[in-house]
Amino acid sequence: MSNFKIFLIITVLLLFITSGQSFFKYFNKTHSQLMNILNTNEVVLNKHKAELQKKVPPLKANNGLAIKPSTQNNYEEYQQPITTPKTRYHCARPTVDFYKTKKYYTLETNLGKGYEKFLAELKTKLNKAFQRIEKQLNITLNGTVNLNISFQTSRADYEDLVREYGKDPTGNIGIYIGYYQQSIVQFLNHEEGMRIAIHEAIHAFNHAYWGDTLRFLNEGMAEYYEGITSEGTIPRFDFQWIAQQDNPMQVDVLLYSDHDWHNDHHTELYQNSKALFHFLMSQHKGKKVLWQLLKKEKKEPCTTLENNTIVDIIQLNYLNYETDFDDWFRDGRDRYLNKNKY
């Protein structure tokens, strides 16, 4: 082999080796830069994630109430408390606190001197109502609901105050405004003021414990407890307002009547919801239905249950409830009509 060929081969080999080293140096440098970029992006992303977490208000335990079954409860297991982020203003719910001593509620009103007897009776009846809820549904309420009730002694003052909260006072003498966690009552007299105050307090209780509930359940419960006595008894259902009905409104009818609660048929809707609640509370299977519905509502406090879900829960726990409800209704209506025949 000539010297020139040897020189040429050596030169090519040297160039190849040099290029390879440069390539590997470039590769290593590029790889290092790429990893640095990725690591930097990861740090930036994590940093932004932490900031977002800080911006979201932490969940507060006292935004929801724990409800434990009593020792003999057979309506399924204990459900964890519901917590709701502060940012969900559309689902603003009453402030609640876990109590160390037995205290169902705190009560704030605008009533002063001269109303001591009224307030004492109101507190007694509210305590009895909450005790009955525990006993009848076989659960333990271990939270304190803050009740805010404003009483207005004239119709003009009542209407003005209701409108200040952006609501329509037409056709009502009491209202609970969940967004502001405020009840407003027109104080017509001692008896009516008491009944309406308890009614609106039950709405506040429902809102705190279960969240949004359908009208037939929420109004039925409020109507049921509003007449409670200081001894804790519930008056029997009065068929006066719906004695003309041959049959009661069933759940499926009430479920699709949400838009009718403020028209000419609102009395029938309120009274039929009350009748249904009375019936369910009079039956073991009926109380189980109510507990299952309320417990299900509690899992999603910012929304009401789907109609199909409600019907499924009722049929699963009380298959022949419609027949029993019809019989209960007709027996009570016939007794009322016979009593008032003359």
Looking at the fold, whether 41 and 73 belong to one and the same domain comes out as: no
| Tokens at 216, concatenated | 């037939």
pLDDT at position 134, please? 93
Q: Residue 93: which residues within 8 A CB-CB, separation 6 or more?
A: 63, 64, 84, 178, 181, 207, 208, 211, 301
pLDDT at position 14, please? 53
pLDDT at position 301, please? 87
**Start-to-end CA span in the chain (Å):** 140
The number of domains in the chain is 3
Statement: residue 120 has pLDDT above 80 = yes
SS3 139: strand
pLDDT at position 26, please? 46
- Domain interval for residue 121: 63-209
Predicted TM-score of the model (pTM) = 0.73
pLDDT at position 68, please? 53
Of the listed ranges 32-36, 76-80, 137-141, 195-199, the one predicted with least confidence: 76-80
| Tokens at 117, concatenated | 């007897």
Q: Give the dihedral sign, CA 248/198/72/296.
A: positive
Looking at the fold, whether 67 and 179 belong to one and the same domain comes out as: yes
Looking at the fold, whether 204 and 229 belong to one and the same domain comes out as: no
List the beta bridge partners of residue 68.
140
Q: Where are the beta strands (DSSP E) in 191-233?
A: none
- Domain's final residue, options 186, 209, 232: 209
pLDDT at position 187, please? 96
The answer to whether 126 and 201 are in contact (CB under 8 A) is: yes
Token look-up 């590029």 returns 30
Looking at the fold, whether 71 and 188 belong to one and the same domain comes out as: yes
The answer to whether 83 and 60 are in contact (CB under 8 A) is: yes
Going by pLDDT thresholds of 50, 70 and 90, the confidence category of residue 202 is: very high
Statement: residue 99 has pLDDT above 90 = no
Rounded to an integer, the average pLDDT of 77-97 is: 43
For a pLDDT cut of 90, what percent of the chain falls above it?
54
Residue 74 to residue 212: CA distance in whole angstroms: 25
pLDDT at position 48, please? 29
Name the residue among 305, 327, 307, 216 with its Cα closest to residue 269.
216
SS3 186: strand
pLDDT at position 83, please? 36
Statement: residue 12 has pLDDT above 60 = no
Assigned domain for 164 exists: yes
Q: Which of 49-63, 126-140, 243-257 has the highest mean pLDDT?
A: 126-140
pLDDT at position 53, please? 26
Looking at the fold, whether 68 and 190 belong to one and the same domain comes out as: yes
Tell me the HSE value of 47 on the side-chain side, using a 13 A CA sphere.
6
pLDDT at position 257, please? 73
pLDDT at position 245, please? 93
Statement: residue 114 has pLDDT above 60 = yes
Looking at the fold, whether 67 and 44 belong to one and the same domain comes out as: no
Number of residues written out for the chain:
342
139 against 198, higher pLDDT: 198
Q: Residue 160: which residues within 8 A CB-CB, separation 6 or more?
A: none
Statement: residue 263 has pLDDT above 70 = no
pLDDT at position 254, please? 86
pLDDT at position 340, please? 82
Q: Residue 183: which residues within 8 A CB-CB, separation 6 or more?
A: 147, 148, 149, 150, 174, 175, 176, 177, 197, 200, 201, 203, 204
* Interaxial angle between packed helices 284-299 and 116-137, expressed in degrees from 0 to 180 and rounded to the nearest 10: 100
pLDDT, tens only, 176-187? 998 899 999 999
State the average pLDDT for the chain.
78
pLDDT at position 59, please? 26
Rounded to an integer, the average pLDDT of 86-93 is: 48
- Domain's final residue, options 187, 209, 231: 209
Query: Nearest 5°: phi and psi at 148?
Result: -120, 115
The answer to whether 236 and 323 are in contact (CB under 8 A) is: no
List the beta bridge partners of residue 186.
152
Looking at the fold, whether 260 and 146 belong to one and the same domain comes out as: no
Of the listed ranges 14-28, 104-118, 158-172, 232-246, the one predicted with least confidence: 14-28
